[in-house]
Amino acid sequence: MSLTTQIKEFALDIGYSKVGIIPAESFPEYIADLTNRQEMYSFYIKGAYRPLLGAEPRSLMPKAKSIITTVYDYSQKNFPKELTEKVGRVYQARCYNAPPERINGARPQLMKNFLRQLGCEVGEKISLPERLVAAKAGIVNYGRNNFAYAEGIGSFIYLTSFVVDKELDYDSPSFVVGCPEGCSACMKACPTQAIYEPLKLNPRRCIAFNTFITQDRMAGSYIEPEIRDKMGTKIHGCDICQEVCPRNQARLKEKLLEDEFLVKVAQDFSLAKILNMTDNLYLSRIQPLMYNYIKEKKYFQRNAAIALGNLGDPAFIPDLSVAMHDPEELVRGYAAWALGKIGGQLAKGILTEGNRRETSEFAKREIRDALLRIE
C-alpha cells in the first residue's frame, strides 16, 4: 500500500470524513487578500497564529513537501436548541483548541503519531489557511458566506491540516462556489451586514468575531453599541448565515441522536446564571466546554449582559442589578447598557444609584449613556 493510501485510510479510520493532499507550496492569493484587508484583520495578522508565515509553510518548515488536509463532521448529533440560540455549533462541538486528552484534540494527535510512525516529520504551530488548503485538495468548496462546504455534509465541519516532509500523491482542486445561482440568503440574513460582498467578511461587524475577538489581548474589549443591538442572544459565535443556507438544510432537518453531554451542559447555560456566574461554574462548566477560546470569565459575563439587554425582559433587571456590583468594570458597564435597553423606572433607579458609587470612567460613561436612553 502506498504512503498516500496508508495516510488517507488512517485519517478516515479515526473519524475524519474526508482527506486530501496538496504540495506544501505558498498561498500568495491568501497573503494578498489578508494584506489588502489588513485594517480589518490586524488583530489576526499581528496575533499569535502568524497567518502570513503559515501561508508560506516552508518559511516555518524548510523541509515541508506536502499538506494533508482533513474534514471533521461535527454535526453528527443534534445540538440542543437552548444552546444553539446562544453558542455556535463549532464551539459546542469543542473543536477549537481541544487539548490532547479530549477527543477532538486526541484525533489530530493520533494522526501526527501515525505520520511519525511512517517516518514523516510533521510540522508544528503552522497556521495554514485551512479553507483554501481544503479547496485546493478538492475536499470542500466555498459558500458565499465564506464557509467551506463538504459534499454530503454542509458547512458544519472543522478543517485540520498536517504539514509533512514527504512527497505524496496530490489531489485536484475544487475552486468553485458551490451555491445555487442567485442565492444570497446568508447575506440577507446576517444581522450586521458583515458579509459585505460574496466571499468577503468584515470581521469587525461579525457577531461571532465580536463575541470573542473583543478581548483585551486581541482587539480591545469594546463592542460598538450598534453591533450589541444586533447580537440577539449570541454569547459565543453565531451560526445565522449557515442556518439559513439551503446547502445545510438536509443536515439541519435530519433526525439526529441527542447529544447527551450537551443536553446536560445546556442546563447550566442560562444567561442570568452566566451573567453572575461563580468561579466554580466558570471553571467547571463554561471554560472547559470552550477550551479557552474566550480566555476570561468577564467576557462571557459581558456577552450575557448584552444578550439579556437584547431580550428586553424586565424580569432580568434584578440579575443586572447584581451585575452592577461586579468587581469587573467591563461587566458593570455592559450591565448598565442592558438596563438602559430594557428601560423603565426600576432600571433607571438602579442606574442612578450605580452612577453615584461608580469609580470607573468606562462604566460611568455606559451608565450615563444608558440613562440618556431611558430619559
Q: Which stretch binds ligand SF4 (CB under 6 A): 39-47, 128-136, 183-191, 309-317?
A: 183-191
Q: Which is nearer to ligand SF4, 163 or 227 (CB)?
A: 227
Residue with cell 469543542: 94
What is the rounded distance in angstroms from the CA atom of residue 271 to the CA atom of residue 65? 48
Residue 8 Cβ vs ligand SF4, minimum distance, rounded to whole Å: 28
Q: Which of 21, 183, 347, 371 binds ligand SF4 (CB under 6 A)?
A: 183
Q: Does 137 bind ligand SF4 (CB under 6 A)?
A: no
What is the rounded distance in angstroms from the CA atom of residue 99 to the CA atom of residue 292? 10
Residue 197 Cβ vs ligand SF4, minimum distance, rounded to whole Å: 12
What is the rounded distance in angstroms from the CA atom of residue 272 to the CA atom of residue 87? 15
Q: Does 185 bind ligand SF4 (CB under 6 A)?
A: yes
Q: Does 8 bind ligand SF4 (CB under 6 A)?
A: no
Q: Does 143 bind ligand SF4 (CB under 6 A)?
A: yes
Q: Which is nearer to ligand SF4, 218 or 346 (CB)?
A: 218
Q: Does 206 bind ligand SF4 (CB under 6 A)?
A: yes
Which of these, 12, 49, 87, lies nearest to 237 by C-alpha position? 87
Q: Which is nearer to ligand SF4, 192 or 321 (CB)?
A: 192
287-326 burial: b if 16+ Cβ within 10 Å, else e: bebbbebbebbbbbbbbbbbbbbbbeeeebbebbbebbeb
Q: Does 245 bind ligand SF4 (CB under 6 A)?
A: yes
Q: Which is nearer to ligand SF4, 68 or 95 (CB)?
A: 95
- Alpha-carbon distance values, 40 to 83, 205, 219, 302 (Å): 29, 10, 11, 23
What is the rounded distance in angstroms from the CA atom of residue 254 to the CA atom of residue 245? 15
Residue 212 Cβ vs ligand SF4, minimum distance, rounded to whole Å: 12
Q: Which of 159, 208, 262, 274 binds ligand SF4 (CB under 6 A)?
A: 208
Residue 176 Cβ vs ligand SF4, minimum distance, rounded to whole Å: 11
Which of these, 339, 350, 349, 280, lies nearest to 310 by C-alpha position? 339
260 grid coordinates? 447527551
Q: Does 182 bind ligand SF4 (CB under 6 A)?
A: no
311 grid coordinates? 431580550
Residue 156 Cβ vs ligand SF4, minimum distance, rounded to whole Å: 13
- For strand 157-164 and strand 148-149, is the pairing parallel, antiparallel, or unpaired? unpaired
What is the rounded distance in angstroms from the CA atom of residue 171 to the CA atom of residue 144? 24
Residue 113 Cβ vs ligand SF4, minimum distance, rounded to whole Å: 34
Residue with cell 494584506: 35
Q: Which of 134, 163, 207, 330 binds ligand SF4 (CB under 6 A)?
A: 207
Q: How many amino acids of this chain bind ligand SF4 (CB under 6 A)?
A: 24
Residue 358 Cβ vs ligand SF4, minimum distance, rounded to whole Å: 31
Query: Using CB under 6 A as the criterion, which residues of the chain lie in contact with ligand SF4 when the complex forms?
Result: 143-145, 179-180, 183-186, 190, 192, 194-195, 201, 206-208, 238, 240-241, 244-247
